[in-house]
Amino acid sequence: MLPISDYLFLSFTLLLIGVIGVITRRSLVIKLFSIEMILNAAGINLMAFARFFADAAGETFAAFIILMVVAQVLVALAIIAVVFTRWFNVSTAPAKHPEQGVPAS
């Protein structure tokens, strides 16, 4: 097995990229993908430590994380689609134009 620090570096990089995406981007969908990346990083970390300790608990938690990612993507995409249909905007920035942010009647 590779040294555990390699997996830590990889998961840390994915975590930081996810945090940067959440902070810098305005699109809700890209923010959602960034959060999924953070969860993926947590999964890699859990699996690496599970392998290091030869403990199945980490693998179980990683499986739960994957299930959560799937459920989150499905539900969040549905919510974003509904939000877009109603408000014609999925940006987290305040509306600049009068036609943005007005609920559809």
The residue ranges that bind another protein (CB under 8 A) are 1-10, 12-21, 23-27, 29-30, 33-34, 36-37, 40, 43-44, 47-48, 51-53, 59, 62-63, 66-67, 69-70, 73-74, 77-78, 80-81, 84-85, 88-91, 93
How far is Cα 2 from Cα 40, in angstroms, rounded to an integer? 19
14 closest CA partner among 33, 47, 3: 33
| Residue bearing tokens 């987290």 | 92
Taking the least distance from each CB to another protein, the nearer of 54 and 105 is 54
How far is Cα 84 from Cα 52, in angstroms, rounded to an integer? 45
| Token code pair at residue 13 | 């990089």
Q: How far is the CB of 43 from another protein (least distance, A)?
A: 7
Q: Note the Cα 68 to chain centre separation in Å.
A: 10
Taking the least distance from each CB to another protein, the nearer of 16 and 102 is 16
Q: Note the Cα 86 to chain centre separation in Å.
A: 24
Q: How far is the CB of 16 from another protein (least distance, A)?
A: 5
Q: How far is the CB of 78 from another protein (least distance, A)?
A: 7
Taking the least distance from each CB to another protein, the nearer of 3 and 102 is 3
